[in-house]
Amino acid sequence: GKRPSCVPVWLCHGNKRIQGYLHAIPLPEEKAAQARRKAKQRAKDKGRNPSTEALCLSEWVLIFTSLPPEVLCTTTASALYRVRWQVELVIKRLKSLLNVDELRAHKGSKLADLYLHGKLLYAAVLEKMTQSRFANAKRKLDNPRRLTDWRLWKTVADDLNAGIKACFPVDARFEDDNIKS
């Protein structure tokens, strides 16, 4: 039978070579059959027959990493790969909520570090306020869309922002108070 495995490989990109490790995890038979059907359909859509290699590889999840298997075993690499989209969503939601892309300071400067840490502190305060304000809300990954953490955070963020802006209107006279806040 097929078993997960890890082999050292070289990844070539242009004239650069990157040494790494390829983790190969077999798909369950039902998923493998579905992947083979999709590979056949993609080839058919392009007017050709799928290669034997393509059909064989469609039965596996392949993960390239630069970390040796002593540091990142195939089981852990597979588990991390399965949660990659959840991690990406959290990062995207934080970027959206915190407007991290709108740092008004030079990258790597002390002001940029302060601004970023302030935004992360803001996110922590928001989470704490959300937990206390919506303590009875069912907060699970499989909840209906209307009860996601994102919607709760956005509600609290809007309230918090309104409170901050009410205390410190956008006016040059309040600039020091805004910075201190």
Of residues 47 and 89, more confidently modeled: 47
Q: What's this model's pTM, rounded to 2 decimal places? A: 0.53
Residue 62's closest CA among 50, 54, 70? 54
pLDDT digits (tens, 9 = 90+) for 67-88: 999 999 999 999 999 888 888 8
Task: Report the pLDDT value the prediction gives residue 142, as an integer from 0 to 100.
Answer: 44
Query: Above 50 in pLDDT, residue 143?
Result: no
What gap in Å lies between CA 168 and CA 163, rounded to an integer? 9
Task: Pick left, alpha or beta for residue 47 (phi over 0 → left; psi -120 to 50 → alpha; otherwise beta).
Answer: left
136 to each of 130, 139, 147, how far by Cα in Å?
11, 9, 11
The listed range with the strongest mean pLDDT (34-43, 76-85, 89-98, 103-112) is: 34-43
pLDDT digits (tens, 9 = 90+) for 13-57: 888 999 999 999 999 999 999 999 999 999 999 999 999 999 999
Task: Report the pLDDT value the prediction gives residue 62, as an integer from 0 to 100.
Answer: 94
Q: With DSSP H G I counted as helix, E B as strand and the rest as coil, what are the percentages for the chain, rounded to 5?
A: 60, 15, 30
Of residues 167 and 29, more confidently modeled: 29
78 to each of 67, 72, 73, how far by Cα in Å?
13, 10, 9
Query: Above 60 in pLDDT, residue 139?
Result: no
Task: Report the pLDDT value the prediction gives residue 153, as an integer from 0 to 100.
Answer: 75
